[in-house]
Amino acid sequence: MIRISFRQSMSAGLLLIVVFLGWAGAHGWFLLEHFARQTRETGELAVQVSTSIQELAERTIDLERSARQYAVLHDRAVLDRFGAQARSALAAAARLDALESRPLGTLPGEWKHTVEMIDAGLHGPAPFAELPALLGRLSAINGELEQRGRRLVERRQAEGLAELDEGRLRFGTLVAASIAAAFLVALAMGWWLSRPIRAIENAIERLGESRFDEPVHVRGPSDLAQVGRRLDWLRLRLSELETERERTLRHVSHELKTPLTALREGVALLQEEIAGPLEGTQREVVDILDANARALQNHIESLLRLNAVSLGARRLHRRPVSLRRLFDDVVQDRELQIQARRLKVLSNPPPASGLLDGDKLRVVLDNLLSNAVDFSPDGGTIRLEGRIEGNRLYVACIDQGPGVAAEDAERIFAPFVQGQRPPPVERQGSGVGLSIVRELLAVMDGEIRLLSAGSPGAHFEIALPWTLAH
């Protein structure tokens, strides 16, 4: 089976388009050349006919004058002058009679015959009584020649214009057909090339979403099909690496959590003084060990949670989501913490439903509200506000805590980074919440901004695309 490449496909398509348009252009050029030649021939015919007829008219006057003078004077010199004038006139009549297809009919021949009869009568011995009638006939032939010559030129011009109109219609039809053929070739070429390119784009999107279960098949030009085979190889390789990464992470987490569990149990036994009573300094050391063991366990669990979020974040599941219900569910999930701190949460969602990934947006709002609860003073107020502007949804989370230092405005979105300003009460956070928020929003084509850097109270605002659910 013959396989052509992307470059060959493009070249063949462009060549066909050039052939169609070039054919139309060449036909137009030949049509123009034909019209120019026809116009030139018509002009030459008009000049030749009008010049010859005018010459005959002028010679007729000279012949009539010479013939009448000879009829009166019988002067041999006048007769010779008549003969010379007759020969010149007969040459002009011969030119008219020699025209192709003899468009003037028998009139040039009749004119010649009439002049020959006059010449013969003048050379005769007897007086020429038929001279006036023949001279009148010659003038009548001149008038008829002038009318036929004018009609001949007009007819040739009309035929040229009619042929031009017909050629113009044919040329317009040919140009339209050539453009349509070129358009069809462009459509066919676009369809032929867009399928494999779309397949490659879909394959790259699936690889970016860590969907390695579907093989990559690209049909089309040979070089694009080769790209598809390389992408399928990359899919298999990434699948192996992802499997190995998950396996390594599970093993490392297990290897860390097992001794860590034993360490915490040992620290708990020491705190309970099972091995004997602890002195003041010894209890401080044991408390330090316990705090660091708890922190280490918290970091391991955060790492596992961050990894799980990273894996699931690449897949979007859009469905109709009620913003009011979503806000209420997020606040309800934190109700115990809110009541324990005597906080007041003012939830103000837009009364609308949109096509959103509700699970991811719920995680985003839960992390923002969790941070606001942790950093709010007892009895403080948290505002969770939403608004829709055009095709964007904005959600703000505002608390009355210490806020975020200006130098931490960007750092706090990195994993395992916490701000310099401490919360009012001790918390066990690991610093991955805002990094999870940013990663999930990036998958949803959204963003998060800190609007209150350096001032008391944190003011976070997220923005993401909004499509109204019908």
Report the Cα 19 to chain-centroid distance in Å: 24
Is the pLDDT score of 318 beyond 80? yes
The closest alpha carbon to 258, from 295, 227, 300, 288, belongs to 300
Residue 231: CB atoms within 10 Å: 20
Does the pLDDT of residue 443 top 90, yes or no? no
Contact assessment for residue 20 and residue 183, using Cβ atoms and an 8 Å cutoff: no
Dist CA 386 CA 462 (whole Å): 9
Count Cβ atoms below 10 Å from residue 341 Cβ, excluding itself.
Answer: 19
* 330's tokens: 């997020």
What CA dihedral angle connects 95, 97, 101 and 105, to 10 degrees?
Answer: 140
From the number of C-beta atoms within 10 Å of its C-beta (0-12, 13-18, 19+), residue 199 rates as buried
Q: Tell me the pLDDT tens digit for each residue of 162-180.
A: 877 887 788 788 788 888 8
Which residues on adjacent β-strands are paired with residue 389?
392
Residue type, position 95, single letter: R
Contact assessment for residue 171 and residue 137, using Cβ atoms and an 8 Å cutoff: no
pLDDT of residue 410: 82
Placement of tokens 């999870």 in the chain: 436
DSSP output for 394-427: EEEEE--S----GGGTTGGGSTT---SSPPSS--
DSSP 447: E
Q: Write the pLDDT tens digit of every residue in 167-217.
A: 778 878 878 888 888 888 878 777 777 788 888 888 888 777 667 778 888
| Residue 152 pLDDT exceeds 80 | no
Confidence bin at 427 (pLDDT 50/70/90): low
Are 376 and 424 contacting, i.e. CB atoms less than 8 angstroms apart?
A: yes
CA distance 50 to 48: 6
User: By percentage, how much of the chain surpasses pLDDT 70?
Assistant: 87
310 conformational bin, left if phi > 0, alpha if psi -120 to 50, beta if neither = alpha
Over the stretch 51-79, which tens digit does the pLDDT of each residue have?
Answer: 877 877 777 787 778 777 777 777 778 77
* 214, 215, 381, 446 from 202: Cα distances, Å: 11, 11, 46, 21
Whose tokens are 């049909």? That residue is: 219
* Helix segments in 209-322, DSSP class H: 222-271, 280-312
- Residue 151: both structure tokens together: 């009609």
Average pLDDT along the chain: 79
Whether 122 contacts 71, CB under 8 Å: yes
Distance CA 306, CA 439 (A): 10
Q: How many CA atoms lie within 13 A of 331 on its CB side?
A: 19
Inter-helix orientation angle 323-333/358-375, to 10°: 40
pLDDT tens per residue, range 121-142: 777 765 566 777 877 887 887 7
Backbone φ, ψ for residue 393 (5° rounding): -110, 130
Cα→Cα distances 412→25, 409, 466, Å: 67, 6, 27
Which residues, including other chains, have CB under 8 Å from residue 432's CB and lie 6 or more apart?
A: 302, 303, 305, 306, 415, 416
Mean pLDDT of 137-151: 80
Residue 57 and residue 143: Cα distance in Å, rounded? 8
pLDDT at residue 1 is higher than 50:
no
Q: Which residues of 290-300 are buried (b: 16+ CB within 10 A; e: fewer)?
A: beebeeebeeb
Q: Contact at 8 Å (CB) between 89 and 42?
A: no
Q: Per residue in 348-381, pLDDT tens?
A: 999 889 999 888 888 889 889 988 898 899 999 9
Q: Which two tokens stand for residue 158?
A: 């009309």
Residue 299 pLDDT greater than 70, yes or no: no
Other beta carbons less than 10 A from residue 160's beta carbon: 16
Which residue(s) pair with 322 in the sheet? 353
Q: What is the mean pLDDT of residues 95-123?
A: 76
At 388 the pLDDT is 92
**Predicted model pTM:** 0.47
* Side chain identity, residue 163: E
Contacts of 342 (CB under 8 A, 6+ apart): 378, 379
> pLDDT grade, residue 35 (50/70/90)?
confident
The mean per-residue pLDDT over the stretch 320-341 comes to 90
